[in-house]
């Protein structure tokens, strides 16, 4: 170890680093973990980095994470409320108490709260008022909190409608096709649909497009209740009198403040009129519990359900549509501009101050939000505490680190989107990566999604951190779980799978609007209280993470990932994986096109573009490793600059077809996929639409983006 490699450390930290890395080496050799140099670091710098990471990972503690979560979930804190503001102040003040800078950033955005509980009446031979609230659970004292909102949907329209009811399964286009086949039309009717298979905003949009005048959404016990396991408070699954709140914003159109698409919601920015916003539904939408749904669905007549429509309630489902079963749905919303509060903390970089590694988690919740999102907020505070300890001992990251606590994510990724739109120019120029953590913990099973260029880094980090219960590395536990899910004889891929980034969390504006490489991750498990009053501290303490060990593991993975990107001599972006993934996406598209007899697009141009991209990616990866070994700082700067810029080249300033806010040519949510990614988005949509002209045009745009990325790689010398 050379002293010049520790120039940013004080002598006490230098000594501590030596001691720590010796212990770390011994520990790693004992458990068989990888002791080779870290990707992105020279051999000597790896020794220093491993020592710093060991010191960081020793800081997060179960007791501290538990106390954060207890404080953050003491009250319901819907975005824009005084209780939400109190959580912002708590996060800011905690970060300041550690010695980090932290400030509140306000935006004025369009939000709705219920003026009164929704009036829902079942009309048969008589009128029966149905509940739109959740039941009290005696063992969970917070479920009695008078500030718990009635069940409602963010961005629903107000309305008072009475009509016959149609059960429309999951409420997706193919479900309406099946209804049409059995002679049932939803025009002028109220549809009841179950959660699952897509985002709730998609269900509202499809209902509206088919002429429905109202939409009721419930969680069927087949998907989210007793058919999955024991229900709360005996087990982790959704109890009978529990509903799922959530936004029905048309997130697939654009996220963020509905009145300022593409611009930050700040003074001086022109706002749309609410009726001009294209991401808001025009029909009333209401969530209910499945005991209430039973009251509506069980008396329905009409045809017996089509194949795939049967849920978990104990009777044969019919689709209804007849006049003898009606519902009155009266939704009355209070819409206005309301203040939301992000918390932004910054640790200045030492050598590359104008390169940013951004970590983000949202803080607002529909009720208490113990899992979603405040397990992530507790982890963020532990990351901040760990970073602060390193800073006190002399650590200065090579690049600047931001810790961001977003607000109003639940309504439509609003806090993150407004901040990203306000800082778009800086982010395009300076952002190295955005690292998201939404649900940090709902169980013990690690999972991740990422752009392919960061796959190797994500796997590397998880190889160096232990799973707190099994003693294996997190990677090994992750890989073992992945093997369990593969069919017998499937030997296609021995690696744990990293998913594609769709939408539904705060990486969306960074990746899909600005082209910042992004990741998302968390520990998952049986979680049936999503967006309910039972997503509480009690639930977490008894089912999600009783010892708060996985909160610590989340902080350790997240912080280590950030440190490696912030301190690396040669950034760990590997675009050979990206080229291979795009090739797989295109091969799948070709198979779909053949099945649907769609032709007319240029396969050869796409194949050639991918070949060139893969070749350049391989060349740059070799040069990057050589430059690290040679400590060639000039060459590394050129390579790093190019690697950061490549993701930006997948951005098309025109945006996707009919959705200009989304600009990434490889990754975006589909119109009907909800949270899930629809890779090669416009091309796949054209294939779904069986439109060969659009398929040809969209593929040309993708080829142009890949060529831009290849040209950028060629600049890395």
Cα angle 270, 276, 279 (rounded to 5 degrees) comes to 105
Whether omega before 323 lies within 30 degrees of 0, making that bond cis, reads no
Q: What is the number of alpha carbons within 13 Å of residue 32 lying toward its C-beta?
A: 4
Dihedral sign computed on CA atoms, order 577, 582, 585, 590 = negative
| Residues ≥6 apart with Cβ < 8 Å to 283 | 157, 159, 161, 204, 207, 208, 212, 213, 214, 215
Q: How many CB atoms lie within 10 A of CB 308?
A: 10
DSSP state of 509: I
Annotated catalytic residue within 53, 75, 208, 409 = 409
Measured in degrees and rounded to the nearest 5, phi and psi for residue 320 equal: 75, -145
CA distance 474 to 556: 11
- For 311-380, the DSSP string reads -SSSS--B-B-STTSEEEEEE-EEEEEEEEEEEEEEE--SSEEEEEEEEEEE---SS--TTTTHHHHHHH
Q: Is residue 447 helix, strand or coil? A: strand
d(CA 615, CA 47): 32
Strand arrangement, sheet containing 103-114: 103-114, 333-347, 399-406, 352-362, 431-441, 518-524, 445-450
Strands 127-130 and 153-154: unpaired
Pair of tokens at residue 178: 């099946």
The token duo for 65 is 């994470």
Q: Give the separation between CA 396 and CA 390, rounded to whole angstroms.
A: 8
Structure tokens at 599: 């032709």
Measured distance CA(241)–CA(204) in Å, rounded:
22
SS3 at position 448: strand
How far CA 41 is from CA of 477, 560, 624, in Å, comes to: 26, 14, 11
Please state the separation of Cα 675 from the chain's center in Å: 8
Name the token pair of 108: 């004025």
418 and 257 Cβ atoms separated by less than 8 Å: yes
What are φ and ψ of residue 503, in 5° steps?
A: -155, -170
Reading the block at residue 13, the tokens are 């930290």
**How far is Cα 144 from Cα 132, in angstroms, rounded to an integer?**
15
Give CA–CA dist 419/358, Å, rounded.
12
Who's near 536: CB < 8 A, 6+ residues apart?
73, 140, 142, 143, 367, 368, 370, 529
**Is residue 409 flagged as an active site residue?**
yes
Choose among 494, 488, 461: nearest CA to 475.
461
Q: Residue 211 and residue 336: Cα distance in Å, rounded?
A: 27
> In this structure, what token pair is assigned to residue 591?
């198979």
Contacts of 701 (CB under 8 A, 6+ apart): 652, 665, 682
Distance CA 189, CA 187 (A): 5
DSSP state of 659: B
SS (H, E, C) 603-653: HHHHHHHHHHHHHHHHHHHHHHHHHHHHCCHHHHHHHHHHHHHHHHHHECC
* Catalytic sites, residue numbers: 409
């Amino acid at each position: 170890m050379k002293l010049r490699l520790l120039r940013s450390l004080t002598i006490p930290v230098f000594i501590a680093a030596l001691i720590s890395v010796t212990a770390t080496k011994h520990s790693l050799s004992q458990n068989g973990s990888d002791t080779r140099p870290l990707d992105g670091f020279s051999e000597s710098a790896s020794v220093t980095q491993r020592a710093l990471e060991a010191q960081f990972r020793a800081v997060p503690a179960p007791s501290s994470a538990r106390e954060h979560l207890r404080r953050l979930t003491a009250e319901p804190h819907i975005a824009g409320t005084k209780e939400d503001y109190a959580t912002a102040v708590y996060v800011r003040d905690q970060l300041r108490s550690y010695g980090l800078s932290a400030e509140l950033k306000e935006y004025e955005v369009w939000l709705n709260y219920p003026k009164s509980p929704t009036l829902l009446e079942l009309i048969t031979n008589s009128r029966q008022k149905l509940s739109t609230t959740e039941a009290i659970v005696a063992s969970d004292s917070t479920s009695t909190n008078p500030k718990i909102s009635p069940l409602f949907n963010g961005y629903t329209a107000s309305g008072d409608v009475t009509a016959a009811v149609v059960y429309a399964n999951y409420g997706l286009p193919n479900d309406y096709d099946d209804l049409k086949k059995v002679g049932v039309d939803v025009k002028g009717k109220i549809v009841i649909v179950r959660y699952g298979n897509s985002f709730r905003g998609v269900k509202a949009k499809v209902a509206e497009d088919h002429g429905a005048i109202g939409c009721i959404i419930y969680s069927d016990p087949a998907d989210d209740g007793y058919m999955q396991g024991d229900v709360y408070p005996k087990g982790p699954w959704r109890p009978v009198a529990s509903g799922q709140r959530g936004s029905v914003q048309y997130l697939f159109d654009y996220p963020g403040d509905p009145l300022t698409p593409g611009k930050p919601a700040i003074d001086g920015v022109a706002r749309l009129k609410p009726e001009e916003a294209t991401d808001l539904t025009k029909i009333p939408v209401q969530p209910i519990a499945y005991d209430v749904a039973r009251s509506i669905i069980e008396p329905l007549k009409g045809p017996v359900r089509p194949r795939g429509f049967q849920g978990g309630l104990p009777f044969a489902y019919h689709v209804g549509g007849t006049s003898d079963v009606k519902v009155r749905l009266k939704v009355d919303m209070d819409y206005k501009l309301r203040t939301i509060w992000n918390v932004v903390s910054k640790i200045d970089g030492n050598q590359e101050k104008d390169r940013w590694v951004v970590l983000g988690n949202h803080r607002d919740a529909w009720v208490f939000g113990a899992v979603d999102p405040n397990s992530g907020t507790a982890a963020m505070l532990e990351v901040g505490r760990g970073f602060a300890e390193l800073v006190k001992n002399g650590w200065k990251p090579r690049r600047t680190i931001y810790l961001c606590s977003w607000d109003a994510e639940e309504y439509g990724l609003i806090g993150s989107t407004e901040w990203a739109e306000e800082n778009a120019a800086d982010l395009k120029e300076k952002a190295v990566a955005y690292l998201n953590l939404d649900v940090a913990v709902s169980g013990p099973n690690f999972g991740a999604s990422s752009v392919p260029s960061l796959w190797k880094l994500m796997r590397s980090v998880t190889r160096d951190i232990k799973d707190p219960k099994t003693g294996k590395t997190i990677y090994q536990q992750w890989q073992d779980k992945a093997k369990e899910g593969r069919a017998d004889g499937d030997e296609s891929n021995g690696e744990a799978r990293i998913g594609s980034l769709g939408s539904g969390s705060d990486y969306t504006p960074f990746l899909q609007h600005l082209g910042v490489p992004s990741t998302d991750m968390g520990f998952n498990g049986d979680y049936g209280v999503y967006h309910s009053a039972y997503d509480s501290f009690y639930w977490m303490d008894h089912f999600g993470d009783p010892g708060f060990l996985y909160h610590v593991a989340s902080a350790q993975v997240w912080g280590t990932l950030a440190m490696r990107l912030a301190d690396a001599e040669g950034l760990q972006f590997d675009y050979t994986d990206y080229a291979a993934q795009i090739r797989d996406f295109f091969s799948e598209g070709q198979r779909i096109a053949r099945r649907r007899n769609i032709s007319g697009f240029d396969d050869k141009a796409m194949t050639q573009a991918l070949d060139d991209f893969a070749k350049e990616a391989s060349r740059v990866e070799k040069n990057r490793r050589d430059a690290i070994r040679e400590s060639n700082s000039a060459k590394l700067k050129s390579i790093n600059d190019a690697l950061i810029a490549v993701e930006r080249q997948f951005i098309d300033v025109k945006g996707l077809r009919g959705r200009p806010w989304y600009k990434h040519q490889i990754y975006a949510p589909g119109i009907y996929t909800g949270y899930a990614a629809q890779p090669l988005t416009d091309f796949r949509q054209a294939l779904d639409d069986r439109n060969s002209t659009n398929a040809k045009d969209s593929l040309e745009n993708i080829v142009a983006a890949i060529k831009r990325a290849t040209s950028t790689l060629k600049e890395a010398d």
